[in-house]
């Protein structure tokens, strides 16, 4: 999910464009209306919130002493709110390809949010640690995050092939910086 922040950057490039006769969005997805651009901007804002909440969740469960359950709960709730809002906004996108791409991507984020909810619920429950369940939840989280990460990378590749070399270079730099920022925030 560390590439999620870069995916947000790619979405911004799609909407804002890079000058010239047609924007990266049109080169990637065909004709994009003002309504679609507006809805995509709203999706971007929601995905940014999602990214921030996911980072908070990972930091909360990777706390040095013990899991910061309150922070994890706030992050889980924020994840769900953000992905629900993004899905609601994406429905308004008329461009079939852009709508399908974002809907598929958001469904993967929704799956991650669902597993995060289960992880937080486990830590909120009183009682002894269930290490087998912890292992299963960790596995489920990896299983959910992997397709989301693959979707991040596929989306970035799809859009970046329509970017001029200077924007492609900036995008690669953003990927590296997002990875570094995430690692600094949550640890190794």
Span 112-121, pLDDT tens digits: 999 999 999 9
Return the pLDDT at 9.
45
Length of the chain: 188
* pLDDT of 67: 86
Write the DSSP symbol of residue 167: H
Q: Which residues, at least 6 apart from 104, have a Cβ–Cβ distance to it below 8 Å?
A: 151
Which of 30-39, 40-49, 122-131, 166-175: highest mean pLDDT? 122-131
Q: Look at 13-17, 49-53, 142-146 and tell me which has the smallest mean pLDDT.
A: 13-17
- Look up residue 126 and give its DSSP letter: -
CA distance 74 to 22: 41
Pair 11, 47: CB distance under 8 Å: yes
Residue 156 to residue 11: CA distance in whole angstroms: 9
State yes or no: pLDDT of 14 exceeds 80. no
* Helix axes of 4-16 and 165-186: crossing angle, nearest 10 degrees: 150
pLDDT at 118: 96
Backbone angles phi, psi at 103, to 5 degrees: -65, -45
Q: Is the pLDDT of residue 95 over 70?
A: yes
Domains for the chain: give ranges and CATH numbers: 31-164 (1.20.120)
pLDDT band at 146 (very low <50, low <70, confident <90, very high): confident
Q: What is the mean pLDDT of residues 126-135?
A: 89
CA distance 2 to 55: 8
């Amino acid at each position: 999910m560390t590439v999620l922040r870069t995916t947000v950057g790619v979405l911004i490039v799609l909407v804002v464009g890079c000058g010239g006769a047609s924007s990266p969005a049109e080169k990637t997805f065909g004709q994009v209306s003002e309504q679609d651009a507006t809805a995509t901007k709203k999706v971007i804002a929601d995905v940014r919130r999602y990214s921030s909440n996911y980072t908070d969740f990972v930091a909360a469960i990777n706390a040095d002493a013990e899991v910061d359950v309150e922070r994890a709960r706030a992050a889980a709730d924020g994840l769900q709110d953000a992905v629900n809002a993004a899905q609601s906004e994406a429905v308004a996108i008329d461009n079939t390809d852009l709508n399908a791409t974002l809907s598929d991507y958001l469904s993967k984020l929704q799956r991650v949010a669902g597993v995060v909810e289960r992880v937080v619920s486990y830590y909120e429950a009183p009682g002894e640690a269930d290490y087998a369940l912890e292992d299963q939840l960790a596995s489920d989280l990896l299983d959910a995050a992997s397709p989301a990460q693959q979707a991040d990378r596929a989306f970035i590749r799809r859009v970046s092939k329509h970017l001029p070399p200077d924007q492609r270079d900036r995008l690669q730099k953003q990927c590296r910086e997002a990875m570094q920022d995430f690692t600094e925030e949550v640890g190794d």
